[in-house]
Structure 1
């Protein structure tokens, strides 16, 4: 989803609206300019940094495309400033990624994303590849930057405790479809979709909240994940398609009470931003 939002892979349908513009309707040149305002931090810090470029080169990379953002004479100082913002010493600019830990690499990735002074960061599971102790450090950096720079985040994660910590509004996706949206308090306090309730009940630090949404099916998710790409495994929910059909299960009673998401609509970007 994150790559589709950034058009690193081209979506086959739908729309992505940012400040009143459909990003999918922009030309390649227009999208390149728009990416100055929207930057991305990838999930795997071991794969997202070029192994043969120094940290300084990695951070400066965007300035080769957007030449007017930082004059060449000021780039070295700006690299040091960005590294300081993410909690790394300026001396790291001369190091290669192989010399860094996973948490340090992800901080470099965040510094690279900040190089163009964006308004929005798309964070695709930014700490899932890191040890728990390192995750806390990176999340602290993200929250500090949000407070200092006024950044908005699209934070994609399977960690419900982390989502509760960083998000103002949450959107839940099930089988490629947004099934529930709401404020953090609404969604965690009164989940309306069985999948949301199942996620919360499976989290050790989140109290079970399935009492109001449990279905009469032995499978609380309504249908198991696909066994093969493009094919649905044997479903157990009422109204779900037979094995091998291409349409996902649909039951109007699954839709959330506090925010309904029609099957033909797409989520508003503000439903998953931290403002």
Structure 2
């Protein structure tokens, strides 16, 4: 009978200790998660006051949240009697294994951090990078999302972008539109150049400064080829491009310039 009482007392003591630990672990987890959320909100407010880039804020927020969660889990395991040094070594080993297996993913993450810090482009910019041309819609942890001119959503690894040339068409106030005009060999090229400068300057969204450039680019068997180069904001590039070609065709035809065509000189020698 005395042994039964001892066993009951031991069982009650054990259950009480276990219950206390479970309750303490739950409290630690709830309070710890609340503190992590509080720290995250405070950090976000501070960064917003400092006008930090939203993408960089997301990086820092994720990093701090993951780090604090790991610290919380290690602290709870230590309270429960687990060897946290062994756990830390295990986490480090898993991290090394994951790093070796997912080297490309980590390189994309590192490249994403450099993109945010160096700021070669931002959301809304029109760029060419890694062979893709389009408008930036999102700069993520591992990939950057681009909408191409034919409305295709394309996701590019940040490592590919950062390891290649980046052309940002939105960085400057204006860009040059490259057009060509083939003249007939008999055409008055000086009059054609003056006419095209005047007509192209009247195309909507063509800038007056810098002025439209028209000059001889090269010569072909048909005649001289003119380089016609109006300037405009990047948002109006394709409108100016197509309107410019139409203006070249219509203005030269209305002014009576001869149509360019290939000619072949045939020499007949009488025997």
Hey, which of these two has a bigger chunk of helix by percent? 2
| Larger Cα-atom Rg | 2
TM-score by length of 1: 0.24
Q: Whose RCO is larger (CA < 8 A, sep 6+)? A: 1
Hey, which of these two has a bigger chunk of strand by percent? 2
